[in-house]
Structure formats: C-alpha cells, structure tokens
Amino acid sequence: MNAASLILIGAPILPAFQPNLSPEAIAEKENALASSALIGKVTNRAENDEANNARKTLKEVSSAIDKARKKLTEPFVEAQRALIRAAEPHIDELNQEDARLQLLIKDFTLVEQKRIREEQEAQAREIARIEAERQAELLRIAREQAAKEAALERERLEAERKEREATEAIERQAREATNKKQREAAEKARIEAVQRAEAARIERERQQAELQARAQADALAASERAAEAARIESKPVEITRSVGQVVKKVWKITQINDFQLLKARPDFVRKIEWDMVAIKAALDAGDKLPGVTAEQDISVGARGRAQRTIDI
C-alpha cells in the first residue's frame, strides 16, 4: 500500500486561489504607513500624541487584516482537524497492534540471542576441550619418543661396551699370538668385530630415524584430527530471522540527571531553555542572578479604537 491509495471519504477539495488584500484594505495600509513615515522625532507632547495616534492606526489596520485572515482560514483549520480526527483512531489502532507484535518479536529475539550466545559458548568450550586433548596427545607422543630414545641410548652404550670389551680381547689375543695362524685368527676376529660394530651402528641410526618419523606422523595426525573436529564444532550458529527483518542493539536510556551530565559533558547539550517569565520576575524583585546580565527597557503600548473589518 502507498500513500496515493489511501483515500479518506469526505475529504474537502480545495479550490485553486491566490488570496490578496482588497484595494480598500491596501489603501488603508498605505495611508497608515504614509502617516507614520512622516513622524521623524518625538520631542514634545503634540508630537507624542501624533506618534501614539499613528501607532493606533497601524495596529487597527494590522488587527483588521489578522482578523480577516483568521476568519477565512478557520474552515481550512477545522477541515484539517476533522481529517486528523478521522484518521488518527485507525492509525492508533494499527500502531498499537504493530507495537504488540514488536514486543513479541523482541521477546523472541532476546531468546534467540540467548540461544546463540549459549551455543557459541558451548562451541568455545568444545574447541578448548579438543585443543586440550591435542596438547595431551602431543605430550604423550613426546614422552613416548623420549622413552624410546632413552632405550636406544642405553642399547648404544651397552653395544659400545661390548664392542670395547671385544676389541680389547682381540687386541690382547693379537699381542699374545706366537705364530702366523694365531695372528691371522686375531686379525679375522678384529675385522669381524669392526663389521659387527658398523652393522649395529647402522641399525641404531635406522631405528632412530624410524622413531622420529613415527613421532612426527603421530603428531601430524593428532593435529589434523583436532583441526577437523574444531572445524566441525565451530560452524556458524544459525540465526532465525525473517526476510527484511533488521535486528540491532540500541540503548534504552531510563534516566538522565541533567545537571550532572551538563557539568561532565557540556558538548552533549544542544539547547537550554530558561523560564524567562520567572527570571524577569526575580529581577523585578531585586534578586541578583549569577550569570544573568540585564538592563531595564521601556515597552510602550497603544490601544486601538473599535475593531474594523477589512476584506481579503
């Protein structure tokens, strides 16, 4: 629905017109202005009476024009009031129902915001739990790696001890050899010992590399599982909202202490309104008002004669 389709039955049709003063009213206005324009000073009683009479004439013409204006505009003003009286009850009824629905939607929105907040907090807790499990898994892998490396180190030390003892035995055998056959046997034993030591060293390096590769693979798998679980848990929370519906947070100000806020933040004040009648009454009583500078002035009134009617 748009404004053009809204029709109030019985609405007045205003004619096209260009109102103006009648020639007689214009003449009276010009005469009053011309008479007052001749008065350039007031220095004695006669001039004061002349100026006062000129003011009376000006006020008479002004009052007559204003009275004619009010008389002609009253039907339009009354028509406006009638249109307002005809439309406002329906508008109020629609606005009240809209306000009721707005309260229902507001209550639902508050419940939705609470649900979303709870789901987001649950997601955060689950992600924290997953991260804690990942860290625990990485710590377990690191501990197992350290234990296996320690075991390999013990094996290496034990193998070196045995190799050292075997080497000493071979060297002793070589020193104690008395013939060629014994020396050849000692040399053969030495070579075999060197070969066994080299094979043991290669096997230890292979086990060490295999252990490190397995630890890295376990750590990578734990991180990937945690990342996938966190991705699933951190999916966006679905928000229930109608098409075209806008929900935003606004401040609802319940109270303002004007004087405290004015003192603290004067930049927030747009306008200050004073009770001028009370201020002038206090000045008449002789009060000294801080921040008020005033001086006495003279206001001269002029009573008009009997009211006249001017046509417009």
**Residue 243 resides in a domain:** no
Banded pLDDT at 22 (limits 50, 70, 90): confident
More confident site: 222 or 77: 77
What pLDDT was estimated at residue 303? Answer: 63
Is residue 123 within 8 Å of residue 234, measured between CB atoms?
Answer: yes
- pLDDT above 90 coverage of the chain, percent: 8
Q: Cα dist. 22→25, 36, 100, 193, 311 in Å? A: 5, 21, 55, 139, 6
Using the structure block, give the residue that is written with the tokens 């009031």: 81
**Residue 100 resides in a domain:** yes
Residue-wise pLDDT tens digits, 132-175: 887 888 788 788 878 877 877 787 787 777 777 777 776 777 66
Task: Give the DSSP letter string of 51-97.
Answer: HHHHHHHHHHHHHHHHHHHHHHHHHHHHHHHHHHHHHHHHHHHHHHH
Q: What is the count of structural domains for the chain?
A: 1
Q: What is the mean pLDDT of residues 275-297?
A: 88
What pLDDT was estimated at residue 4? Answer: 43
**Residue 264 resides in a domain:** no
- Between 78-92, 208-222, 261-275, the lowest mean confidence (pLDDT) is in 208-222
* pLDDT, mean over the chain: 79
Count other Cβ atoms within 10 Å, centred on residue 310.
21
What pLDDT was estimated at residue 100? Answer: 92
**Residue 2 resides in a domain:** no
- Indicate whether 97 pLDDT > 90: yes
Sequence-separated (6 or more) residues with CB below 8 Å from residue 86: 8, 10
Q: What is the mean pLDDT of residues 270-275?
A: 84
How many Cα atoms are found within 13 Å in the side-chain-facing hemisphere of 293?
0
Compute the C-alpha angle 52/53/55, nearest 5°: 65
What pLDDT was estimated at residue 241? Answer: 67
Residue-wise pLDDT tens digits, 56-93: 999 999 998 899 888 888 888 888 888 888 888 888 99
Q: What is the mean pLDDT of residues 195-220?
A: 76
pTM of the full structure: 0.51
What pLDDT was estimated at residue 11? Answer: 65
DSSP state of 38: T
What pLDDT was estimated at residue 222? Answer: 73
Compute the C-alpha angle 40/45/50, nearest 5°: 50
**Residue 127 resides in a domain:** yes
Q: What is the mean pLDDT of residues 42-67?
A: 90
**Residue 309 resides in a domain:** no
- Indicate whether 3 pLDDT > 60: no
Q: What is the mean pLDDT of residues 198-208?
A: 77
What pLDDT was estimated at residue 238? Answer: 65
**Residue 145 resides in a domain:** yes
What pLDDT was estimated at residue 251? Answer: 74
Side chain identity, residue 64: A
What pLDDT was estimated at residue 307? Answer: 56
**Residue 244 resides in a domain:** no
What pLDDT was estimated at residue 312? Answer: 53
Q: What is the mean pLDDT of residues 15-35?
A: 84
Its domain, for residue 123, covers: 19-231
- Indicate whether 42 pLDDT > 70: yes
- Between 115-129, 180-194, 210-224, 258-272, the lowest mean confidence (pLDDT) is in 180-194
Read off the tokens for 119. Answer: 């789901």
